Structure 1
Amino acid sequence: MLKALIESGFGNDRKLNCAEKILYGANETYDLGLSSDALKLAAGFGGGMAVEEACGAITAAVMVLSKLFVEDTAHKSNKIKNLTTELLYSYETKMGSIICKPLKKNHRSLFKGCDKVIITAAECLDEIVKRELNL
């Protein structure tokens, strides 16, 4: 699903940042129906919102969960809080953090950049989406 798309090099030709790769890729993989204007909302989340805070890949994954599992607002959703918590804990267990700075330090490579960070976010998101949508 999304993980396979990201592993195939999705977004590399367009130089998408980590958040954009997740949101643009999820839009294709999960058929979210997001417009090009909506996709632009992920741009500022790359690089931990440009200051190496919350990982852009994981914040975009939360955006995807919101699109899929919130009909109106978060307070009217009976799932989003639990699914977001599950996503963050799963990611942190696999990667050691949800914060960009230590993720870059421990997982960024000269030739592959943050591929491992992005692929793991896609994997965690895929696990939840597959289960929740019975895919």
Structure 2
Amino acid sequence: MAEKMTIEKARDFMMGQGFHCSQCVLSHTAEMVGLDRDLALKLSAGLGGGCFHGDTCGAVSAAVITLDMVYGFNKPNSGEQNTKMVEKIAEFEKRFIEKHGSLLCRELLGGHDFSQPGESEKIMAGGATGILKNCPTYCTTVCDILDDMLKDVKKA
């Protein structure tokens, strides 16, 4: 299992190194699910900011990719596997919502939406003390939930 994600590590990864929340999560879980870390960083690069429109949080989207690596399917008519995957994603989402109240980036960011004119600059301007200040907490929550859900799972 990967070393525990902390708010400080997530903050450095995002604010210090310029990665997105989605990359923070998927790079954390990559080894756990048998995914190359560099590939994980590329796969998750475009998911930040709710795909930059304030929709599903990028950290949450990266969690779904992680769960897909363990519970996803690649054969036709995989009804039972699909059901299990959907159940695991629903469990994850429930736990995240219980802690933070929403899965939507714009709601987690207090109503700010990357897709609105001038909002992206405003969101990015404050860095670790501005609008994005809670994003490392969201990443840490996602990693903690996944660490717990996958603690007994073998690599994909």
- Partner amino acid, structure 1, of 2:84: K
The counterpart of 1:101, out of the listed 88, 103, 106, is 106
Partner residue, 2:9: 9
Partner residue, 2:137: 116
**1:47 offset after TM fit, Å?**
0.7
Deviations 1:51-99 (A, max 9, x none): 1110000110010010122242596225211000110111011110000
Distance (whole Å) between structure 2 residues aligned to residue 51 and residue 61 of structure 1: 18
Distance (whole Å) between structure 1 residues aligned to residue 144 and residue 76 of structure 2: 24
1:1-135 paired onto structure 2 within 5 Å: 4-7=4-7, 9=9, 11-12=13-14, 13-28=16-31, 30=32, 32-34=34-36, 36-73=38-75, 76=78, 77=81, 78-105=83-110, 110=129, 113=133, 114-130=135-151, 132-133=152-153
Q: Which runs of no fewer than 5 residues in structure 2 stay unpaired?
A: 112-126
Query: Which structure's relative contact order is higher, taking Cα pairs within 8 Å and 6+ residues apart?
Result: 2
Pair 105,73 (structure 1): closer, same or farther in 2 beyond 3 Å: farther
**1:37 offset after TM fit, Å?**
3.9
What RMSD, in angstroms, separates the aligned Cα atoms of the two structures?
2.8
Q: Which moved more, 1:54-63 or 1:68-77?
A: 68-77
Asked whether the equivalents of residues 7 and 137 of structure 2 are also in contact (C-alpha less than 8 Å), the reply is no
* Higher Rg: 2
**1:6 offset after TM fit, Å?**
4.2
**1:120 offset after TM fit, Å?**
0.9
Q: Which moved more, 1:2-11 or 1:44-53?
A: 2-11
**1:22 offset after TM fit, Å?**
0.4
Normalising by structure 1, we get a TM-score of: 0.80
Query: How many pairs were matched up?
Result: 131
Normalising by structure 2, we get a TM-score of: 0.70
